Structure 1
Amino acid sequence: MTLTRKHIWILTTIVGISGLNQGLLLPLIALLLEEKGVSSTVNGLHATGVYIGILFASLFMEAPLRKYGFRPLILGGGLTVTLCLLSFPLWDSLLFWFLLRFLIGIGDQTLHFATQTWITAYSPAGSRGKIISLYGLFFGIGFAVGPFFLPLLAIHSALPFLVSAALSLAAILTIFLLENQYPEKSGIETYTIRSTLVRFKKVLALAWAPLLPAFGYGVLEASLNSNFPVYGLRIGLEVEKISLILPAFSIGGIVFQLPLGIMSDKYGRRKVLLTVFALGTVLLWIMGMAETSFLALFFCFFLFGMLLGSAYSLSLAFMTDSIPKQFLPAGNLLSGVCFSFGSISGPLICGAFIQYFQSFSYFHFLSLFLLAIFLGLAKKPAPKPESVQK
């Protein structure tokens, strides 16, 4: 079976609303905690609750998916997020909110794992890049739209949560328009944490290179949003200019998400990924030499978003090409794990670099990081799925 237009639009719409929730929740909670006098360090650590939830859920997702199918997991994940959003206004507690963020991480991982696996498992190889890019495009648009709901705080502090929960529920209920389906069977009857880890090892042996861009994108997205504002202030940029520069990356990613996916269908995922990471490495080095110029940084951030804003969706498509279908659930879980590790480690490593290596440009450091990923992609082409012992 292949995906119909109905499948694509419903699944991408659900993912788009999920992106909106994430795009709203990050700055919303950060602002509310800042107003309460919570330190920036605690504020940043608090945000890791989502990623910890994602990593925790990754160990337990494969068995429920194979037993119950795609639709129940999407519904369960979406309802978990909705209930958590409704719960934020109930109790103003730092620990309670961290627990809710942890549960949102579990819900988001469940939803994204099921939608990603459904899309990757049933999309035809000839248009897989285009379809997965649509997935990334809708998430990116939702993530970019999310912060526009922040002014609702002026009406009531609970209103952004309530509106986000209502949109989430409305999107999730559309899943009932699709019949439930299941991933391809692997011939394994029992699924435990140990067996999941064994399949993780097999996927890594096959697709370690295709998973590198997912990790890289996690580092870039989290670091640019967390570390660049701090670095920008230290090199003399004004807050207003920083707030204009940052969205340029997201806008660039939205603009070029679909074209890069189509190009990867035509020319191959590896070639496109090598090209964008090579150009991104050069562009970051140029940014380091022109980092005090607002116009240069704004333009470069936009170009950088055009190049690397599709890294996760291209990584997903490349991974799907590189492993047998029965390993796709484990592969999709690992993609989320790699992204989460990048999102957690990126701000920590880059923050330490900014603090202890003040004579070296932050952008040059990121450039070297992208170069390392480029070399990893160039070192060894992904093996053919047919070569794997099942």
Structure 2
Amino acid sequence: MSAPLDLTPAERRRGLVAAIVGVSVFAACLGHSLPFFAVRLASLGASNSFIGVNVALSALAGLALTPFLPAVIGRYGIRRVLAAAFAVIFAGYAAAFLSGERLYLWHVARLLIGAGSTAFFVASEIWINLAVSPERRGAVVGLYATALAGGFAAGPLALELTGYDGASPFIAGAAFLVLAAPPILTARPPAFSPREKTVSVAVVTRRAPIIFLAMAVFSLGEAALLSLAPVYGLRIGLGEVAAGRIVLAYSLGPVAFQYLLGLAADRYSPRIVLAACAAAGLAGAALLPAAVRNELALYPLLFVWGGAIVGVATCVLAYVGGRFAGKELAAANSGIALAYNAGALAGPALGGAIMDLAGPDALPAALAGAFALLLMLLAPTRPRLGP
């Protein structure tokens, strides 16, 4: 797909820098909200099931909104949708701040943040894929994924400074939004041709179903790991500190590897690198039960495994950018968001149920099965990802 004709090369470069910088700060806001909401709700006396439902509402909001995004972005443009996303997420933080002990308002806040985040990521990923040159797509998407992972990792660090009580954490979350908005809202994003017709999510998913399945597998695995890895560590005998480090080690891998994986996708093709990431995801899941007994092996494994699992998403984004154009790309990125939210909704519930039924080591076994299925579907003898 060629770069959009309505932007000069300099405008494309400035827009890409603005989008990636803004996304990194925006991701810090989301990385801040997840632990903050959970801990604050627990301190208010919310039950574990209430907190679990609160987390799930974010994915539900994304699932409900996604089918409408291609038409909305096509009609109003990328910049207006991004501005609306900022406003909706800010309203979510405001609802939580004003909630007091009215716990139901925290559900309203989570719905708003989930809907705004979905719109933000779909619009920003369309921007990046429309503006980047084809020969550099993988590298730029890798930079985007690195910025995203770094932002998510940085968000919880703000809570180390503000704590979880009082108004300070709300101010920190709002500050992330205020810092993320200017670079994105002042740059010029690509525009769609007014002659293009809106394409539905269903149309593009039928044309390349395996790529959307890959995103669902990534999301399911990551959501299960991020929510259940500390519990898994405790169940197999690790101490609290060591169990908590599982998520930290896993989260650092994506920061280190995504740009390199993007370069590899440019050189060898996203499909080949996607298959390699799926194979590494399978290997990591198979090795985890043995490595978890030795911390010297565990944390390096999690570091590489995290980079490989998130690499699946990086390759998916690079693939759809090269495969689809214009409003088809808007539908494809919306389809990616739909698959992501479906996996994020199912992953923690399925992972928890599997651990309850068959013990803690059933979690990595189930993840190994998911990556094995994806690898089988990506095999050269299987149908192509799309025409």
Q: Same fold (TM over 0.5)?
A: yes
Report the Cα offset of residue 135 of structure 1.
Answer: 1.4
Moved over 3 A (4+): 152-156, 184-187, 323-326
Report the Cα offset of residue 294 of structure 1.
Answer: 2.6
Please tell me whether the aligned partners of residues 229 and 246 of structure 2 are also in contact (alpha carbons under 8 angstroms). Answer: no
Equivalent residue for 1:38, pick from 9, 33, 46: 46
Counterpart position of 2:91? 83
CA distance in 2, matches of 1:47, 1:138: 23
Please tell me whether the aligned partners of residues 140 and 253 of structure 1 are also in contact (alpha carbons under 8 angstroms). Answer: yes
Report the Cα offset of residue 360 of structure 1.
Answer: 4.8
User: What letter matches 1:19 in structure 2?
Assistant: A
CA distance in 2, matches of 1:38, 1:324: 46
Question: Do residues 339 (structure 1) and 340 (structure 2) align?
Answer: yes
Report the Cα offset of residue 324 of structure 1.
Answer: 4.3
Once the two structures are overlaid, the 10-residue window that deviates more, 327-336 or 238-247, is 238-247
Counterpart position of 2:243? 242
Equivalent residue for 1:381, pick from 366, 372, 384: 384
Question: Do residues 166 (structure 1) and 168 (structure 2) align?
Answer: no
**What is the RMSD computed on CA atoms of the aligned residues?**
1.9
CA distance in 1, matches of 2:179, 2:201: 34
Counterpart position of 1:228? 229
Q: Deviations over 1:141-163 (max 9, x none)?
A: 11000111113444842211212
Q: Go from structure 1 to structure 2 and tell me whether the alpha carbon gap of 1:6 and 1:382 turns closer, same or farther (over 3 Å shift).
A: same
Report the Cα offset of residue 186 of structure 1.
Answer: 6.2
Once the two structures are overlaid, the 10-residue window that deviates more, 348-357 or 84-93, is 84-93
Q: Deviations over 1:65-119 (max 9, x none)?
A: 1122111111111122123223322122221111111011111112111111111
Identity %: 25
Counterpart position of 1:316? 317
User: What letter matches 1:126 in structure 2?
Assistant: E
User: What letter matches 2:233 in structure 1?
Assistant: G
Matched residues, number: 376
Report the Cα offset of residue 31 of structure 1.
Answer: 0.7
CA distance in 1, matches of 2:344, 2:163: 30
CA distance in 2, matches of 1:229, 1:66: 42
Counterpart position of 2:216? 215
Please tell me whether the aligned partners of residues 58 and 113 of structure 2 are also in contact (alpha carbons under 8 angstroms). Answer: yes
Report the Cα offset of residue 254 of structure 1.
Answer: 0.5
Counterpart position of 1:110? 119
Counterpart position of 1:387? none
Q: Go from structure 1 to structure 2 and tell me whether the alpha carbon gap of 1:226 and 1:186 turns closer, same or farther (over 3 Å shift).
A: farther
TM-score normalised according to structure 1 size: 0.91
User: What letter matches 2:159 in structure 1?
Assistant: L
CA distance in 2, matches of 1:360, 1:313: 28
1:61-76 maps to which residues of 2 (within 5 A)? 61-76=69-84
Three-state SS of the structure 2 residue aligned to 1:38 is: coil
Counterpart position of 1:276? 277
Counterpart position of 1:251? 252
1:147-166 maps to which residues of 2 (within 5 A)? 147-154=156-163, 156-166=165-175
CA distance in 2, matches of 1:200, 1:67: 16
Question: Do residues 144 (structure 1) and 153 (structure 2) align?
Answer: yes
Report the Cα offset of residue 381 of structure 1.
Answer: 2.0
Please tell me whether the aligned partners of residues 71 and 181 of structure 1 are also in contact (alpha carbons under 8 angstroms). Answer: no
Please tell me whether the aligned partners of residues 230 and 246 of structure 2 are also in contact (alpha carbons under 8 angstroms). Answer: no
Please tell me whether the aligned partners of residues 253 and 305 of structure 1 are also in contact (alpha carbons under 8 angstroms). Answer: yes
Report the Cα offset of residue 306 of structure 1.
Answer: 2.3
CA distance in 1, matches of 2:342, 2:229: 19
Question: Do residues 10 (structure 1) and 18 (structure 2) align?
Answer: yes
CA distance in 2, matches of 1:290, 1:177: 48
CA distance in 1, matches of 2:350, 2:180: 36
Counterpart position of 1:20? 28
Three-state SS of the structure 2 residue aligned to 1:337 is: helix
Counterpart position of 1:372? 373
Three-state SS of the structure 1 residue aligned to 2:166 is: coil
CA distance in 2, matches of 1:361, 1:149: 34
Report the Cα offset of residue 221 of structure 1.
Answer: 1.7
Counterpart position of 2:305? 304
Q: Could you list the runs of 5+ residues in structure 1 that have no partner in the other structure?
A: 385-390
Please tell me whether the aligned partners of residues 278 and 371 of structure 2 are also in contact (alpha carbons under 8 angstroms). Answer: yes
Q: Go from structure 1 to structure 2 and tell me whether the alpha carbon gap of 1:238 and 1:44 turns closer, same or farther (over 3 Å shift).
A: same
CA distance in 2, matches of 1:176, 1:149: 24
CA distance in 1, matches of 2:195, 2:129: 16
Report the Cα offset of residue 5 of structure 1.
Answer: 2.3
Counterpart position of 1:353? 354
Report the Cα offset of residue 249 of structure 1.
Answer: 1.1
Once the two structures are overlaid, the 10-residue window that deviates more, 34-43 or 151-160, is 151-160
Counterpart position of 1:52? 60
CA distance in 1, matches of 2:85, 2:230: 32
CA distance in 2, matches of 1:344, 1:359: 20
Counterpart position of 1:95? 104
Counterpart position of 2:130? 121
Once the two structures are overlaid, the 10-residue window that deviates more, 108-117 or 372-381, is 372-381
CA distance in 2, matches of 1:164, 1:5: 28
